[in-house]
Amino acid sequence: VIACPDALGLATPMAVMVGTGLGAMNGILFKNASALEDAAQLNVVVFDKTGTLTQGRPEVVDLVLAAGIAEDELLKTAGAVEKLSEHPLALAILKHAQGLQLDAVQGFGNVDGMGARAELGGDVVLLGNDKLMALDKVDMNGLEVDSQRLQGQGRTVVHVARAGRLMGLVAIADAVRPTSAPTVAALHARGVQVAMLTGDNRPTAERIAREIGIFDVVGAIELSRATLRKMHQNLWWAVAYNVIAFPVAAGLFYPFTISPEVAALAMSGSSALVAVNALMLKRTRLTGIRVGSATDAAMQPRPATAQG
């Protein structure tokens, strides 16, 4: 027996098995085989900003104080209100105010899309953007230029006002992941466009966009394309082999024959070649895949999941 469709049957699943295994070793998870195949056709990738393109851990990077206001006074007022907030920016302010005695506030409430308000020591305290300050006709204490400057730098600016007067500005930024910038070039080199979704203001979005990048998706696209190449190679080899082997097995070339030993070796060799070619996927170097221990990879919230 020389003709055998084993190689045809192994061509695709063997490549998929090795491809998904290699992806898992590098922190890339594919939901199924079709997701692995579809990833090769990606030409546009859209990602959320916070926690994906950025660290997802906003930090206070600057403070601007109104005349006569001390830094601790500003932080204590802001921290007292933010204690009751669940917004990610609140955590950044509370971290910066760590160690300060924060008084209790009353009547805390969120102002959709603008910030929050509460009462502290009988005074109304406002924390939020410039729209909230304008809505409540807050005296900006001459800090309008500083507010615009910080926003122009792509910072998220929290205005802190008490009793109708601005106490100061808290500038917050979310650092871009260190792997982002070089990956943009890798995506563009592969003909993949990158888009970003964010609810931040335009200057902040533009600042992040200048540094934007996607880490494991580059590896996922490369792996998908490499796997498809192996599938095609295996299928072409299996088809070519059987185009020759089936007529030989059917006796169409009689009296030309080959010994059973040679036929068995050829049949086994065809399947072995498909398997070896698929296993060579493991030699694929995936751009952007960080070399590290399995534990380190598991601890990082960075796997890309392609779903089909």
CATH classification of the domain holding 146: 3.40.1110.10
What letter does residue 31 receive in the DSSP assignment?
S
> What pLDDT is recorded for position 272?
82
Strands (E), the chain: 28-30, 44-48, 59-65, 106-111, 115-120, 123-128, 156-162, 165-173, 193-197, 304-306
Query: Are 69 and 132 part of one and the same domain?
Result: yes
Residue 219 lies in a domain: yes
Are residues 65 and 160 part of one domain? yes
Q: Considering 38, 48, 62, 130, which one is annotated as catalytic? A: 48
Instruction: Kindly state whether residue 54 falls inside one of the protein's structural domains.
Output: no
Residues 184, 131 within the same domain = no
pLDDT reported for residue 6: 58
Helical segments of the chain, H only: 6-25, 33-38, 71-82, 88-96, 130-135, 144-152, 180-189, 202-211, 216-249, 260-279, 294-299
pLDDT value at residue 4:
58
Domain total for the chain? 3
pLDDT tens-digit map of 109-137: 999 889 999 999 999 999 999 999 999 99
Residues 241 and 295 in one domain: yes
Q: Are residues 184 and 89 in the same domain?
A: no
In a domain, 96, yes or no: yes
The pTM of this model reads 0.51
Q: CA 92, CA 71: separation in Å to the nearest integer?
A: 15
What does the pLDDT read at residue 144? 95
Window from 70-74, 208-212, 219-223 with minimum mean pLDDT = 219-223
Question: Could you tell me which residue, 1 or 69, shows the higher pLDDT?
Answer: 69
Q: To the nearest whole percent, how much of the chain has pLDDT over 70? A: 79
Report if residue 49 sits inside a domain: no
Averaged pLDDT, 182-211: 72
Q: Does 48 qualify as catalytic in the annotation?
A: yes
Contact assessment for residue 103 and residue 81, using Cβ atoms and an 8 Å cutoff: no
Average pLDDT, rounded, for the chain: 78
- Tokens representing 193 are 């466009």
Minimum mean pLDDT range among 18-27, 106-115, 212-221? 212-221
The residue with tokens 């930024």 is 173
What is the C-alpha to C-alpha distance for residues 199 and 193, in angstroms, rounded to an integer? 20
Whether residues 234 and 219 share a domain: the answer is yes
Is the domain of 95 the same as that of 132? Answer: yes
Q: Quick one: pLDDT at residue 213?
A: 52
Distance between CA atoms of 161 and 77, rounded to whole angstroms? 9
Mean pLDDT of 159-169: 96
Q: Are residues 167 and 67 part of one domain?
A: yes
Separation between Cα atoms, residue 114 and residue 135, nearest integer Å: 10
User: Above 90 in pLDDT, residue 287?
Assistant: no
- 76 plus 138 within the same structural domain: yes
> Does residue 165 share a domain with residue 68?
yes
* Domain that includes residue 160, residue range: 59-173
Dist. CA 165–CA 74, nearest whole Å? 12
pLDDT (0 to 100) of residue 238: 80
Whether 237 and 297 map to the same domain: the answer is: yes
Of 25-39, 171-185, 206-220, least confident by mean pLDDT is 206-220
Identify whether 21 is part of a domain. yes
Task: Let me know if residue 52 belongs to a domain.
Answer: no
pLDDT category of residue 105 using cuts at 50, 70 and 90: very high
Q: What pLDDT score does 41 carry?
A: 77
Spatial distance between the Cα atoms of 278 and 53, rounded to a whole number of angstroms: 33
Structure tokens at 214: 């996607």
| Residue where a domain terminates, one of 113, 148, 173 | 173
Least confident of 23-32, 236-245, 283-292: 283-292
Asked if residues 158 and 115 have their Cβ atoms less than 8 Å apart, the reply is yes
